[in-house]
Amino acid sequence: LFCGGEPVSIEQIDVEDFVEEALKKSGGALRREWGAMSLYQRGDLPFRIKDQMPGSYSGLGTALGWKDIWTNTEQWEGATPVRAPVAAPAKFPAPPAGGLTLPGAIPEAVLADDAAALRHLGYSAEEIAHAMKAQLPAGGESAARAHFQTWLAEKADSDGGRAKMAASWDLPVSETADKDGHDALQWANLSQPDGWCNISHYLAVGCISAREMFSRASEHKNFTGVAHRLMWREFHRLNAIHWHRRIAWLQGPGRVERPWTTDPVIVAAWKQGKTGVPYIDACMRELHETGWLAYKGRKTAGFFLVFDLGVDWRVGAFHYEDELLDYDFAMNYGNWVTVAKVDKPRNWGEGEVNPEEKHDEMRWKLSAEKTNDPTGAYIRKWVPELRSVEDRFIHTPWEMKEEDMATCGCTIGKDYPASIVGALDLNISNPSSDAHPFAAEREEAKGEAIA
């Protein structure tokens, strides 16, 4: 039996192992192929994944021959090649006479009816009703290729409606714009709710391969951005193979010990988008309603869960696994251990994570949202309770007085939850500046420490 193996997933590996054992008992064998989910072929890698895996994204780029994977697509001579996609077969062999009956197969009539299929899989009537109301993208290989073709035509050679960020301090923005101001890495668009390529849901289930995207984008102006995103995906995939079960441990690959909570009241507030912190609530509600959340929203909501609420990061990983249409084991767990700061052992002399510093960092992230979306358009879309709140309070409703709440018809603690973490100071002295909003007070604190 041939199997397109998926070595990044703990559950998938377990299934493959069970199948292999069952086949052995009956005189058969399982042959696992590397498959098309990865960008690089395993046999082409210049290192062993299990014991020679580079410890960072930059290190991976260097090992594979990229001159500077953060800024361009130039490679050294002899760099590890990304193989070209293989053409699809012209025709397939005819199915067995009389059809193929497999134990446990779902009947065709059930598969043809989405609601019936969900019912067959054990979902409740409420869950089915919610799913049937959702506006989902068309599925399948043809839809994936059409989506990417549209993206190539509209955004692969332009800024694609590039967002003008007033603040970018919470994004990994690098100096990648050319002399005309064009940024092939498109960092600004990562701050937007709709993301950039928006094709991860197709990649996650194999409707389109990373190699096909790499190949088709290679002649376009924004190829650097595509290559960069695919390389991050590859880093997380290889890391998941390298760490295997440790990537899902509470302590993470870094074996970091820290107190955690799983308080069901706190967890429910976060999952349901009822924390009383508008941007976080908007993110969690969009995730539940659409199965999608852009890069910035995922990481900010995750950071809030871990460092402001102190919740076991795996609770967040499990929830994203349940909700995301583009759920991918390696990307999900790889990003969560990174956000939770349990992805690697601390360096010698490096102190424990300071909750107060992380709380400040959360304020930076929310202040960036306040600066980039001063009218709260994103919040108003997903948190209807706040739609009539004045712009000056949309990000900080805890600042409203009684008369303000009466004017907008939204009483905090009644119509919209009070902040689960109390009032947060998101005031920015110079909103047009791209400096950290709390840079001045941090410098002042530094001065006091020195004095």
What would the two tokens of residue 443 be? 């410098």
* 117 close to 106: Cβ distance less than 8 angstroms: yes
The arithmetic mean of pLDDT across residues 6-31, rounded, is: 94
- Rounded to whole angstroms, the Cα distance separating 179 from 202 reads 34
What does the pLDDT look like over 288-334, one tens digit per residue?
999 999 888 999 999 999 999 999 999 999 999 999 999 999 999 99
pLDDT at 160: 52
What does the pLDDT look like over 208-219, one tens digit per residue?
999 999 999 999
- Rounded to whole angstroms, the Cα distance separating 102 from 19 reads 14
Least Cα distance to 395 among 420, 410, 377, 413 occurs for 377
pLDDT at 179 over 80: no
pLDDT at 218: 94
Long-range contacts of 252-256 (CB under 8 A, 24+ apart): 252/313, 252/337, 252/340, 252/342, 252/343, 253/337, 253/342, 253/343, 253/344, 254/337, 254/341, 254/342, 254/343, 254/344, 254/345, 254/346, 255/345, 256/341, 256/342, 256/345, 256/346, 256/353
pLDDT at 219: 92
pLDDT at 449: 32
What does the pLDDT look like over 345-373, one tens digit per residue?
765 445 566 666 777 888 888 998 898 89
pLDDT at 322: 93
pTM (predicted TM-score): 0.88
Q: In the block, which residue shows the tokens 């549209």?
A: 150
* 166 close to 157: Cβ distance less than 8 angstroms: no
pLDDT at 102 over 50: yes
pLDDT at 97: 82
pLDDT at 195: 74
pLDDT at 164: 59
Q: Tell which wins on pLDDT, 188 or 305.
A: 305
- Rounded to whole angstroms, the Cα distance separating 367 from 288 reads 24
